[in-house]
Amino acid sequence: MSERRSSESGFPINGVYTEADLPEDLDSRLGSPGEFPYTRGVYPTMYTSRPWTMRQYAGFGTATESNARYHQLLRAGTMGLSVAFDLPTQMGYDSDEPIAHGEVGKVGVAIDSIEDMRLLFADIPLDKVSTSMTINAPGSVLLLLYQLVAEENGVPGTALNGTIQNDILKEYIARGTYIFPPKPSLRLVADTFAYCRKEVPKWNTISISGYHMAEAGATPAQEIAFTLANGVEYVRAALAAGLAVDDFAPRLSFFFVARTTLLEEVAKFRAARRIWARLMRDDFGAKDPKSMMLRFHTQTAGVQLTAQQPEVNLVRVAVQGLGAVLGGTQSLHTNSFDEAIALPTEKAARLALRTQQVLAYETDLTATVDPFAGSYVVEAMTAEIEAAAVELMERVADHGSAVDAIEAGFQKREIEQSAYRIAQEIDSGERVVVGLNRFTVDEEEPYEPLRVDPTIEAAQADRLARLRSERDADEVTRALADLRAAAEGTDNVLYPMKAALRARATVGEVCGTLREVWGLYRPTDRF
């Protein structure tokens, strides 16, 4: 008799599931597609009317280089752009600051000012594409630069579609690209909600992310529990700022990972929708159905890619993408097979997009809604993950709030324990990773990765020097003073921030002004 396996979240997996494994109240847990509690999907027709948005994440080097990649992806059939920024930009520093040395353009594109943003989106119709920007602490700054460039091209904010990640709480838990302490960071998030409701109404103002926690080692149950707990904190911050729940909740979105454990991933997505719907209706009194819909973007699991036999990653990504689609994602990024080695080559990025296109156009996945509904195993797993996630959310709430739990190190400690267990299982061979600890080869085929031009840093510094010499320095000084006054008071900071960026203040200058008022976050090691 074979040994009984366990799920990623720690539940035993039965060799056979029967009707006895289904929850007794299955009908009320399921509902119909597009109806509360949205277990079966947030829209009645899902992919039968149109496929998910195929959104490929890209950005490297200079804005001009990234723009060329975006045009290549659009020609290949991608439906939405997803921008990767380099670490200095993510941390609110200009490319010529000493702290940025060695990181300019490495893991994403370097954006220092409106001039870079103009180059990044040159000849791209911003009223026709949907753009997602993976940026958190300075998320509002990059959104405003995007809006300014759109306006220069005759596209009003009311015509823009897209998302900024803007999820600062998960940075304290799992990723680390924070700038300000939690309280002013939450104020900035709430200001962004209010600004976009008036100025950029079709924009998704936050993408509450479990992806990075999963990449750090969170189980599926931990991923959705800590993500939804952060979502609760953002809702409370917006309510405290005077916004009505149905005024901002329809623009909330989420971001999850898709692992190779396909059945559990499908169950995770279904459980997350169900929990969020009930939270918004029962705890926050939402009346608008759109406030209760958990809409999410999915990215395949970068942490599961291997540098050994990298072509095997094509198979992993296809399975992970299949899980995301079966789970009802609204948009999807499929990783390139060579990302464990370096930035994706153009061919690898095109193959990643083709993977989605095969799923959409060569399979029958788009012929029916929620094909796993009623499956003994998926419904049983969905109920198990739901119960485990709710229990974890209650443990977060026991600390007072998600922020209190973060400051106590709760989420980080739980995730690190899970990551350690996974590492032990890989090292012992209990967890098989094809090409890494089993089915290895003696010699790898040579592979030529994409490399970032090391002269980019100097070129960006030259561009910044020219910008500062040509702009109206007095206008910039006045605009930054207005931003400082708003940050010190209670006015929405995005309006003076936009004026400063229009005057050609840099990302680093804007963030530096806020640093001077709000300070830097210094984590304390409590565990």
CATH code assigned at 79: 3.20.20.240
Q: Which of 206, 221, 320, 222 is nearest to 267 (CA)?
A: 221
Q: How many domains does the chain have?
A: 1
In a domain, 434, yes or no: no
Domain-located, residue 222: yes
**Which residue is listed with tokens 């640093």?**
515
459 domain residue, yes or no: no
Could you tell me if residue 41 is inside a domain? Answer: no
42 in any annotated domain: no
Confirm whether 205 is domain-assigned.
yes
DSSP 34-49: TSTT-TT-SSSSGGGT
Between CA 205 and CA 235 the distance in angstroms is: 12
Q: Structure pTM?
A: 0.94
Report yes or no on 22 lying in a domain. no
Tell me which residue range forms the domain holding 200.
51-428
Q: What is the pLDDT along the chain (527 residues), one digit of tens a residue?
A: 456 789 999 999 999 999 999 999 999 999 999 999 999 999 999 999 999 999 988 888 899 999 999 999 999 999 889 999 999 999 999 999 999 999 999 989 999 999 999 999 999 999 999 999 999 999 999 999 999 999 999 999 999 999 999 999 999 999 899 999 999 999 999 999 999 999 999 999 999 999 999 999 999 999 999 999 999 999 999 999 999 999 999 999 999 999 999 999 999 999 999 999 999 999 999 999 999 999 999 999 999 999 999 999 999 999 999 999 999 999 999 999 999 998 888 899 999 999 999 999 999 999 999 999 999 999 999 999 999 999 999 999 999 999 999 999 999 999 999 999 999 999 999 999 999 999 999 988 887 877 778 899 999 999 999 999 999 999 999 999 999 999 999 999 999 999 999 999 999 999 999 999 999 998 876 44
- Cα 492 to Cα 33: distance, rounded to the nearest angstrom: 38
Is residue 453, in this structure, part of any structural domain at all?
no
Residues, the chain: 527
